[in-house]
Amino acid sequence: MKTKHNSELVQHAIDGLENLSDSNVYGCDLHNELFNTDYFIIGRYEAKKWLESNVGIFKAIEEIKEYEQSNFGEVNTDLSEPELVVNMYAYIKGEEILNDCKALSKRWDNRLSNEDIEAIKEELNELI
């Protein structure tokens, strides 16, 4: 199955879910937990390399500017720093990935049980 989502970002979400067993995370907080409490990529060189080979630096910057203008009314990310750009891009795309997850949408206002987490992982694995 061809997916519109980057498989490395989907795998990042799946890996993050591995650490959430027996957690007290609500469905609505899952995006923050997976894409805002840890870095997707650490290091300027690695970040620049990933952006160039996966999305394009200027495309990522364009998406970040549009997202931040729309959600915050201004751009807050330092767009001259590749590590910040790649991690904000991952944050945005992580939101899109989880928004497409039916298993999560059913549990949005509830604490996620181990069964919920497994169902979300299963659905995300189908995207890879």
Beta bridge partners of 111: 26
pLDDT of residue 96: 95
- Global pTM? 0.90
How many of the other CB atoms lie within 10 Å of CB of 70? 8
Distance in angstroms (rounded) separating the CA atoms of residues 117 and 7: 19
**What are the start-end ranges of the H helices in the chain?**
7-18, 30-35, 44-54, 57-72, 82-99, 102-105, 114-125
CA dihedral 97, 90, 31, 5 (to 10 degrees): 10
Residue that wins the pLDDT comparison between 22 and 61: 61
Average pLDDT over residues 8-34: 90
pLDDT of residue 2: 44
pLDDT digits (tens, 9 = 90+) for 75-111: 999 999 999 999 999 999 999 999 999 999 989 999 9
pLDDT digits (tens, 9 = 90+) for 28-66: 999 999 999 989 999 999 999 999 999 999 999 999 999
pLDDT of residue 22: 65
With CA atoms as reference, report the closest residue to 11 among 32, 48, 40, 50.
40
How many of the other CB atoms lie within 10 Å of CB of 31? 18
* Region label for 73, one of left (φ > 0), alpha (ψ between -120 and 50) or beta (otherwise): left
pLDDT of residue 1: 38
Residue that wins the pLDDT comparison between 42 and 5: 42
Average pLDDT over residues 2-30: 86
